[in-house]
C-alpha cells in the first residue's frame, strides 16, 4: 500500500511596524494571507524607548500571538547597526531561537511595495509623511539613501507635526502684526476646547508630538475653507516633502533615470489633495518619476523581511493551523456575545418615522417624552445597579480602582465622570479612570475606527496594571463593541470583577464569557435611529452618576447630603465649604472660615475641631 505524503502547512511570520504614534503587527502565512492584525495605540520610536520599554512593547504583542517562524521589526528611529542590535536583543528575549530581521520603518514600508525585481524602476524611494516625515531609497545594487527622519526638533519638515506647529506659530504672528486673532486661531481653539490664545500657549507647552500632529487635520480643513494662512502653510509643506524626495533621488541616480516614488503615512494617505500636490512637485522636479500611493501598510513589509530570514535549525515552525489552536490567545469572535435580533439601539422608532416632517413643538415633545421614560427603565435594574455600587465600594476600600472602558459617546461620558471625581470627592486621579478607544484624540474628535480594535482594548487595559483588586466597567450601547470586549476579556484574565453596561437586552454570552454583572436596561430605539448619544447617552450618564456618587456616599465622603470631601479650589467652592461647616456644626461664619483656613480648607478635618 502506497502512503500519500501530506504536505506540511506553511509557517507563519510576524511583521511589526512601530511608528511615532502607533504600532501595527501582522501575523501571516505569506505576503498575501493575513491571519491576524493587532494595533497598539502607543508610540514605537526606538529613540524614545528604554530597553525595558522596548521589551515591554514586544511582550505585549507576543502575548496576543503564537510563536512565529520568524519576526520582522521596523521601528522609527532605528538608524544604525547599534539600533538594530538593540531590537534583535529585545526580540531574542521575547522569542528565543526565532530569527529576527530588524531595521527602520522606512525599510519595512519599502518592502511592503513588493519585490523590487518586478518593478519597472531600478530605483525606488519611499516617501513617508505622517506624524513625522522622511524618505528612504534603494538601488537594485543595494545602495541606499535616507533623508530626513531626524525627529520633530531637528527635522520632519512637511509632517503633520510640522504643519500643526507652523499653523500655531502663524496665528500668533498674525496676532502680533494685526492685533486680531485670525480665523485659523479660532478653529484651533474650538478643536482643543480652549477659550483664549493664552490657553493655547499653555496647551502646546505640555502636549506631546502626536497630540500636536493631530491638529494638522484642522489645517487641512481650514485650507479647504480657503483660509489663506492654512493654504500657504500647506503649500510650503508640500514643497518640503517633495524637496526631500528629490534630494533622495539625486543621491541615488542621475537626472533622467526612471525613479519610482511611493507615498505613504497618514498625511499622504488621508489627504488626497495634499498627496496630489506632492506628486505634481516631484514630477516637476523629476520628469521621469513614477509616483503612486503605497497600497499596503508597512507591517506587510516587515512580514516579507521576516519571511526572508533563514530558519533556525532544530526549531519547530508554527503553522496557521497551530495559530487557531493556541490556547490563551483570545479573539473577538470568542468573546463578543451574539444578539438575538437587531439591537434596540439600531432599530427604527415607530413614533419618529416622520421626524423630518414634524413641527418643532411635536419633535421636542417626542424627545422629552422618550427621555422621561428612562428612569422607569433604569429602576427595573435597581438590584443590579446596587450590586455594581457594592463592587465599586469593595474595590476602592481594598485599595483598588474603578476603571471605565468605552468608545465614542460612552467613552467620553466615562471620562467626564472620572474627571469629576477628584475635585468632588478628593480622591486621587488614578482612583477612577477612563479608557477611551482612540485615546486623547477621541476626546476631541471622532475616532470611530478605534472601537473595532479588540486587541487594542485588551492591551490598553493591561497597560493600566489591572489586578483582582480593581473593578472594570465596560460601556457599550449595543453591548458588542470590540474595543470594550477586548478590555473585559483582559480584565477577566487578570481576575478583576467586570460589569457590562449596555442597552441591548437580547445578548447571548458564550460559556465562561459573561461579565460578573450585566446591566442592560430596555430603553428602546432612539428617536434618531442609531444615534446613541441620545437616550443611551442620557441613560449612561444617569448610571455613572449613581455608580460614583453612591459609592462615595458609602465610603463616608458625604454627610447628610453635603460633600464633606470636596476640595475648595475657587471662591465659589470656598463659600460652599464654609456653609457646609456651618450647617453641620452650627458654628458662626467667622469660626467656620477660621477652622477651614487652619486645616488648609479640609472640611473633614475642620468639622471635628468645631464640634469639640
CA pair distance 470, 495, nearest whole angstrom? 9
- Which of 17, 218, 370, 451 does the annotation list as catalytic? 451
Task: Give the DSSP letter string of 574-589.
Answer: HHHHHHHHHHHH---H
Q: How many CB atoms lie within 10 A of CB 33?
A: 11
Q: Please give the helix or strand (H or E) that residue 55 lies within, else none.
A: helix 51-62
Nearest to 41, CA basis, from 214, 166, 164, 168: 214
- Which of 346, 390, 420, 440 does the annotation list as catalytic? 420
Cα separations (Å) of 564 from 18, 572, 610? 48, 15, 14
What number of helices (H) and strands (E) belong to the chain? 25, 19
Residue 47, burial from CB neighbour count under 10 angstroms (0-12, 13-18, 19+) = exposed
CA pair distance 462, 357, nearest whole angstrom? 49
Q: Please give the helix or strand (H or E) that residue 610 lies within, else none.
A: helix 603-611
Q: Are 248 and 149 in contact (CB under 8 A)?
A: no
Cα separations (Å) of 75 from 142, 209, 339, 549, 552? 20, 17, 41, 45, 45
CA pair distance 513, 520, nearest whole angstrom? 16
Give SS3 for 326: coil
420 annotated active-site? yes
Nearest to 299, CA basis, from 53, 52, 65, 92: 65
CA pair distance 192, 445, nearest whole angstrom? 10
Using left for φ > 0, alpha for ψ between -120 and 50, and beta otherwise, residue 517 falls in beta
Residue 340: φ, ψ to 5°: -75, 85
Per-residue three-class SS string for 439-450: CHHHHHCCCHHH
Nearest to 550, CA basis, from 385, 327, 326, 330: 385
Q: Please give the helix or strand (H or E) that residue 75 lies within, else none.
A: strand 70-75
Q: Are 401 and 430 in contact (CB under 8 A)?
A: yes
CA pair distance 428, 185, nearest whole angstrom? 35
85 annotated active-site? no
Give SS3 for 351: helix
Report the Cα 225 to chain-centroid distance in Å.
28
Residues near 495 by beta carbon (within 8 Å), at least 6 away in sequence = 467, 468
Q: Please give the helix or strand (H or E) that residue 105 lies within, else none.
A: helix 105-111
Residues near 165 by beta carbon (within 8 Å), at least 6 away in sequence = 152, 212
Give the strand pairing for 259-264 and 123-129: parallel
Would you name the residues annotated as active-site residues?
Answer: 420, 451
Amino acid at each position: 500500500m502506497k502512503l500519500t505524503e501530506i504536505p506540511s502547512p506553511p509557517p507563519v511570520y510576524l511583521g511589526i511596524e512601530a511608528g511615532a504614534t502607533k504600532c501595527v503587527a501582522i501575523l501571516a502565512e505569506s505576503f498575501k494571507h493575513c491571519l491576524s492584525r493587532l494595533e497598539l495605540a502607543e508610540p514605537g520610536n526606538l529613540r524614545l524607548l528604554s530597553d525595558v520599554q522596548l521589551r515591554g512593547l514586544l511582550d505585549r504583542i507576543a502575548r496576543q500571538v503564537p510563536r512565529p517562524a520568524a519576526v520582522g521589526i521596523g521601528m522609527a528611529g532605528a538608524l544604525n547597526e547599534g539600533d538594530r542590535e538593540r531590537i534583535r536583543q529585545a526580540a531574542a528575549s521575547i522569542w528565543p531561537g526565532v530569527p529576527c530581521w530588524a531595521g527602520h520603518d522606512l525599510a519595512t514600508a519599502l518592502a511592503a511595495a513588493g519585490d523590487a525585481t518586478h518593478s519597472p524602476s531600478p530605483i525606488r524611494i519611499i516617501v513617508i509623511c505622517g506624524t513625522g516625515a522622511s524618505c528612504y531609497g534603494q538601488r537594485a545594487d543595494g545602495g541606499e539613501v535616507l533623508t530626513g527622519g531626524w525627529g520633530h526638533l531637528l527635522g520632519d519638515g512637511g509632517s503633520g507635526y510640522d504643519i500643526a506647529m507652523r499653523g500655531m506659530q502663524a496665528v500668533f504672528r498674525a496676532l502680533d502684526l494685526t492685533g486680531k486673532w485670525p480665523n485659523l486661531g479660532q478653529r484651533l481653539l474650538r478643536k482643543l476646547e480652549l477659550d483664549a490664545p493664552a490657553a493655547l500657549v499653555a496647551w502646546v507647552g505640555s502636549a506631546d508630538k502626536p497630540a500636536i500632529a493631530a491638529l494638522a487635520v484642522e489645517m487641512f480643513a481650514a485650507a479647504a475653507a480657503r483660509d489663506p494662512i492654512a493654504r500657504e502653510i500647506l503649500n510650503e509643506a508640500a514643497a518640503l516633502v517633495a524637496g526631500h524626495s528629490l534630494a533622495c533621488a539625486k543621491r541615488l541616480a542621475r537626472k533622467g533615470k526612471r525613479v519610482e516614488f511611493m507615498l505613504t503615512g497618514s498625511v499622504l494617505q488621508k489627504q488626497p489633495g495634499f498627496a496630489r500636490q506632492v506628486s505634481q512637485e516631484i514630477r516637476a522636479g523629476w520628469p521621469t518619476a513614477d509616483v503612486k500611493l503605497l497600497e499596503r501598510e508597512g507591517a506587510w513589509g516587515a512580514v516579507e523581511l521576516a519571511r526572508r530570514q533563514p530558519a533556525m535549525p532544530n526549531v519547530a515552525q508554527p503553522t496557521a493551523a497551530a495559530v487557531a489552536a493556541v490556547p490563551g490567545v483570545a479573539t473577538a469572535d470568542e468573546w463578543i456575545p451574539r444578539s438575538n435580533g437587531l439591537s434596540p439601539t439600531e432599530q427604527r422608532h415607530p413614533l419618529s418615522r416622520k421626524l423630518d416632517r414634524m413641527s418643532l413643538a411635536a419633535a421636542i415633545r417626542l424627545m422629552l417624552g422618550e427621555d422621561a421614560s428612562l428612569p422607569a427603565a433604569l429602576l427595573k435594574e435597581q438590584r443590579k445597579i446596587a450590586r455594581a455600587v457594592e463592587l465599586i465600594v469593595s474595590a476602592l476600600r481594598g485599595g483598588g480602582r474603578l476603571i471605565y472602558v468605552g468608545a465614542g459617546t460612552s467613552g467620553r461620558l466615562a471620562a467626564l465622570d472620572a474627571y469629576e471625581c477628584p475635585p468632588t470627592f478628593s480622591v486621587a486621579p488614578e482612583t477612577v479612570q477612563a479608557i477611551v478607544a482612540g485615546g486623547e484624540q477621541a476626546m476631541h474628535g471622532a475616532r470611530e475606527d478605534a472601537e473595532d480594535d479588540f486587541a487594542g482594548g485588551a492591551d490598553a487595559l493591561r497597560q493600566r496594571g489591572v489586578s483582582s483588586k480593581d473593578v472594570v466597567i465596560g460601556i457599550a450601547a449595543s453591548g458588542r463593541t470590540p474595543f470594550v470586549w477586548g478590555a473585559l476579556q483582559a480584565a477577566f484574565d487578570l481576575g478583576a470583577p467586570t460589569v457590562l453596561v449596555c442597552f441591548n437586552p437580547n445578548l447571548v454570552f458564550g460559556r465562561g464569557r459573561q461579565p460578573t454583572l450585566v446591566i442592560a436596561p430596555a430603553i428602546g430605539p432612539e428617536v434618531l435611529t442609531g444615534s446613541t448619544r441620545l437616550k443611551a447617552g442620557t441613560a449612561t450618564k444617569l448610571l455613572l452618576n449613581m455608580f460614583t456618587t453612591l459609592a462615595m456616599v458609602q465610603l463616608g465622603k458625604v454627610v447628610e447630603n453635603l460633600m464633606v470631601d470636596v476640595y475648595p479650589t475657587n471662591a465659589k467652592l470656598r463659600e460652599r465649604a464654609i456653609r457646609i461647616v456651618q450647617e453641620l456644626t452650627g458654628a458662626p461664619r467667622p469660626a467656620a472660615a477660621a477652622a477651614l483656613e487652619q486645616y488648609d480648607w479640609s472640611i473633614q478635618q475642620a468639622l471635628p475641631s468645631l464640634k469639640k
